[in-house]
Amino acid sequence: MAQNSTSEQVFRDSASEPTPVPTLPQVGASSRTGDPVLLPFSHPAARPVADGGVSDAPLLRHLRGERSESEDTPAPVWFMRQAGRSLPEYREARGTTAMLDACVTPALAAEITVQPVRRHRVDAGIFFSDIVVPARLAGLGVEIRPGVGPVFDHPIRTAADVDALPPLGDDYEAALDPIREAVGLTVAELGTTPLIGFAGAPFTVASYMVEGGPSRDHLRTRALMRSEPETWHRLASWVAELSGRFLRAQVLAGASAVQLFDSWVGALGADLYREAVLPHSAEVLGAVADLPVPRIHFGVGAAHLLRPMHEAGATVVGVDHRMRLDEALEILPEGTPVQGNIDPAVLFTAEEVRYAEARAVLAAGAGASGHVVNLGHGVPPETDPQVLTDLVAFLHAQR
Ligand code: CP3
């Protein structure tokens, strides 16, 4: 992966004393030297909560698998899609700004990221952006149509389409500046609550590019993978570099953990995943493997892929609501922290049903070295925000 020496120098500015932080196993594919990069004092993950940082915040301790038997602290919780349409303050802040324009307006992206932390008291912010933002920053025509999802002007379906993709040089590095600025504003506002950076995984992002828009079964993408593997691999490695550099920019600017979303990867069998997808997802996770931040990998309907998704260089595996966490723990290597997996349907049930599900999820995750509570997939837009606020309070009251 091409590295940007400029941003790295800024990041390691010797004016602020570099502080070593706990290291994670170097399982990423392309960690350049294998040596962990030191974070400057200005990075939130370089300082403990007592000094205004996040390095020992509950979220990060669980993501590192440092839960201790003796402690009486609740499992940390955040929700995928916690920012966004379920919140009236989001609708107000967005106004008529198009979704992808909002993502590249630093003050607005920062404000929207912080809103659910303020309201629900969740244990992490998730950077407000989208998996197709990097493609937009690289110059592709893409928009998010309300109620539909990402739609590309020109689907990428042939070798010639892949040849015509823009090169990801210094222009792309410069185009990431609003992201760096948004992350900087966000972590200043979040204080001792960690920010999770994220990127879309090559399969999920490329499937939008190949299909042109959302698709139920990703047939064209799966057909391309099988009929023109060479074209597929070139497309997936372009997306891997795109997403990897987006992810690295967020961490260097202040994110303390990352999540790679491969939402639609459950459409693939394990053999095709290993051959056509795993190496590319490994490249994205490898783009931050030399940085001391936990790497969460998540897919929907991907219970049959938990092991290869871990092998791709994840340090934490996100599990959707279709598989119990204790079953996932039997599949994953000993000691792997997990994230998940309250069924989003219980956001629309009576409170007893919801809290019974929350208790069951805590019990199923109790055997993990670390457990970060989340939903099995994102917050549906029609969710009553008070239900989420109360669910966080309920989870925080459990021991
Ligand atoms: O989780 C968060 O709160 C952080 C922000 C975030 C968004 N998208 C904001 C968003 C994240 C992490 C994503 C990732 C994303 N985007 C994924 C992976 C996660 C998942 O949900 O599986 C995927 C598949 C996308 C693509 C995408 N973007 C879809 C399918 C949609 C929904 C379209 C619709 O209107 O139903 C979007 C739009 C989107 N991304 C919204 C938000 C807040 C809604 C935009 C709006 O307000 O109209």
> pLDDT tens digits for 316-345?
999 999 999 999 999 999 999 999 999 999
Contacts of residue 198, defined as CB under 8 A and 6 or more positions apart, other chains included, come to 126, 127, 129, 131, 247, 250, 258, 259, 260, 261
Residue nearest ligand 1's atom 27 by CA: 149
pLDDT of residue 72: 67
Question: Of all atoms in ligand 1, which is nearest to the CA of residue 126?
Answer: 4
Distance in angstroms (rounded) separating the CA atoms of residues 296 and 260: 6
Distance between CA 376 and CA 339 in Å, rounded?
Answer: 9
Q: What is the mean pLDDT of residues 53-77?
A: 89
Mark 308-343 as b/e (b = at least 16 C-beta within 10 Å): bbbbbbbbbbbbbbebbbeebbebbeeebbbbbbbb
Please tell me the predicted confidence (pLDDT) of residue 128.
98
- What average pLDDT score do residues 275-283 get? 98
Mean pLDDT in residue range 37-49: 88
- 249: CB partners within 8 A, 6+ apart: 7, 176, 179, 180, 183
Residue 232: which H helix or E strand, with range? Answer: helix 229-253
Cβ neighbours for 40, distance < 8 A, ≥ 6 positions apart: 11, 12, 13, 16, 17, 18, 19, 46
Catalytic, 208? Answer: yes
Cβ atoms 137, 89 nearer than 8 A: no
C-alpha pair distances (Å), 160 with each of 163, 164, 230, 231, 264? 5, 6, 12, 9, 25
- Average pLDDT estimate for 388-392: 98
Q: Are 209 and 240 in contact (CB under 8 A)?
A: no
> Is 90 in the active site?
no
Q: Give the Cα separation of 115 and 144 in Å (integer).
A: 21
Q: Stretch 272-285: mean pLDDT, rounded? A: 98
Tell me which of 85, 118, 220, 274 is the catalytic residue: 85
324 is catalytic: no
Q: How far is the CA of 130 from the centre of ligand 1 (A)?
A: 6
67 is catalytic: no
Kindly give the residue spans of alpha helices, DSSP state H, lying in 86-227.
88-94, 99-103, 106-120, 133-137, 159-163, 170-175, 177-190, 202-211, 219-227
For the chain, give the number of residues: 399
CA 159 remoteness from chain centre: 30
Q: Give phi and psi for 318, each to the nearest 5.
A: -90, 135
State how far the Cα of 373 lies from the Cα of 392, in Å rounded to an integer. Answer: 10
| Least reliable range by pLDDT among 70-79, 93-102, 201-210, 229-238 | 70-79
Contact residues for 162 (Cβ-Cβ < 8 A; gap 6+): 156, 231, 234, 235, 238
pLDDT confidence of residue 103: 98
Among protein residues, the one with the nearest Cα to ligand 1's atom 38 is: 149
pLDDT value at residue 73: 78
Which letter does DSSP use for residue 156 in this model?
-
Instruction: Give the Cα separation of 135 and 145 in Å (integer).
Output: 16
Using the mean position of ligand 1's atoms as its centre, give its distance from the Cα of residue 308 in Å: 25
Pairing verdict, β 39-40 and 18-19:
antiparallel
The helix-helix angle for 106-120 and 385-397 (nearest 10°) equals 60
What's the token pair of residue 150?
Answer: 């990402």
Expressed in angstroms and rounded, the spacing between residue 81 Cα and the centre of ligand 1 is 7
Which of the pair, 163 or 41, is modelled with greater confidence?
163
Position 27 scores a pLDDT of: 30
Radius of gyration of the chain (CA): 20
| Range with lowest mean pLDDT among 23-32, 66-75, 100-109 | 23-32
Q: What is the rounded average pLDDT of the residues 258-268?
A: 97
pLDDT of residue 15: 38
Distance 129 CA to ligand 1 centre (A): 8
Please determine, for residue 6, whether its predicted confidence score (pLDDT) is greater than 60.
Answer: no
Confidence of residue 399 (pLDDT cuts 50, 70, 90): confident
Q: How confident is the model at residue 13 (pLDDT cuts 50, 70, 90)?
A: very low
286 pLDDT more than 50 = yes
The yes-or-no verdict on residue 238 having pLDDT over 80 is yes
307 CB burial (10 A radius; 0-12, 13-18, 19+): middle
Taking CA atoms only, the protein residue closest to ligand 1 atom 22 is 263
Q: With 0-12 CB in 10 A as exposed, 13-18 as middle and 19+ as buried, what is 349?
A: middle
Question: How sure is the predictor about 71, in pLDDT bands with cuts at 50, 70 and 90?
Answer: low
